[in-house]
Amino acid sequence: MAFGSIDEVQAGLAGQDYVCGRALATVVFLALRLGRPLFLEGEAGTGKTEIAKAIAAGLGRRLIRLQCYEGLDAASAVYEWNFAEQMIAIRAAEASGGADRDALKTELFTEEYLIERPLLQAMRPQPGGAPVLLIDELDRTDAPFEAFLLEALSDFQVTIPELGTVKAPEPPIVILTSNRTREVHDALKRRCLYHWVDYPDFEREIEILQARAPEAATALSREVVAFVQKLRTEDLFKKPGVAETIDWAKCLLALDVINLSPEVIADTLGAILKYQDDIQKLEGSEAKRILDEAKAELVTA
């Protein structure tokens, strides 16, 4: 299955409960059509990771995720040898006596003892076609890993010294994400199509919430989205993303909340704000002020 047009991209993603605008659907369509990696930047919680999952599900492809972190190196991202199994094989050979050291060395570095990590997995043939390779939060890594990644994504191949070069028979669909905690090198960006994933406007966030929490009443959904969008205009250390909007709505549903009130907001702030300093800013009358402003905008909308 493939997306034949931008409209099909939007429809296909909507079928996976991912609501996106035409600009994002266009860049996804172009990345798939041209076989180019897609680089998505934006604040945390705006749906960058989710779009990779939605594309994989919509196309019926396997999703392979490389979660980046500080200190990630090429070996951890590509492959490792199963040292525990290798040691067992060595002990067994020694116990049987007369082990040929050269033959044993050759046997130990075969596919049987290879642990494939995400980048190597993405180069292997997959049922249903090339997989979707999600390289998540690339900004958490360092420059040497970026340089390695640049080479790997240019040729879509990796080298294992003991076994040789593994080249993808069909290039994977590559999606890279960044929360922009640091700038990613221009050389890597130039290899990709780029899109900034911003917070959605009111109507689109309502659509997203209806797709992800359809059991929420329309009135409550509108209050939740209006409050969260108003909250994003405040001076916060970490503004709530769409993921927090969805989580909060589900929490309110679990509590059988029908309408927002300052008391309900105070009790459930941990679902939308993740830093104590931000939570303290909404204590007292602040939550009521923001709620009143949000409801006033709903009335005038």
Amino acid, res. 240: P
When computed from its CA atoms, the radius of gyration of the chain, rounded to whole angstroms, is: 24
CB distance 213 to 250 below 8 Å:
yes
For residues 82 and 113, is the Cβ–Cβ distance under 8 A? yes
Banded model confidence at residue 164, pLDDT cuts 50, 70, 90: confident
Q: Answer whether 183's CB lies under 8 Å from 20's CB.
A: no
Predicted local distance difference test score (pLDDT) of residue 265: 94
Q: What single-letter amino acid sits at 120?
A: L
Cα separation, 245 vs 38, in Å, equals: 26
| Whether pLDDT at 9 is above 70 | yes
| Mean residue pLDDT across the chain | 91
Element (H, E) at 181: none
CA distance 95 to 98: 9
Q: Residue 104 pLDDT more than 80?
A: no
DSSP secondary structure code for residue 260 in this structure: -
What letter represents residue 230's amino acid? K
Per-residue confidence (pLDDT) for residue 88, from 0 to 100: 87
Against a cut of 0.75, is the pTM above it? Answer: yes
In the chain, pLDDT over 90 holds for what percent of residues? 72
Which residues pair with residue 132 across a beta bridge?
Answer: 63, 173
Task: Kindly report which listed range (3-7, 44-48, 155-159) carries the lowest average pLDDT score.
Answer: 155-159
Q: Per the structure block, which two tokens stand in for 238?
A: 């970490």
Question: What is the CA angle 173-68-193, rounded to 5?
Answer: 35
Predicted pLDDT of residue 127: 87
> pLDDT by residue (tens digit) across 153-163?
888 888 888 88
Sign, CA torsion 78/84/86/87: positive
Which residues, other chains included, contact 93 with Cβ-Cβ below 8 Å and sequence gap of 6+? 99, 104
Confidence of residue 52 (pLDDT cuts 50, 70, 90): very high
Q: How far apart are CA 253 and CA 235, in angstroms?
A: 28
Geometric angle at alpha carbon 174, from 156 and 57, rounded to 5°: 130
State pLDDT tens for residues 199-242.
Answer: 999 999 999 999 999 999 999 999 999 999 999 999 999 999 99
Instruction: Tokens for 243, please give them.
Output: 């993921």
What is the torsional sign of CA 272, 274, 278, 281? positive
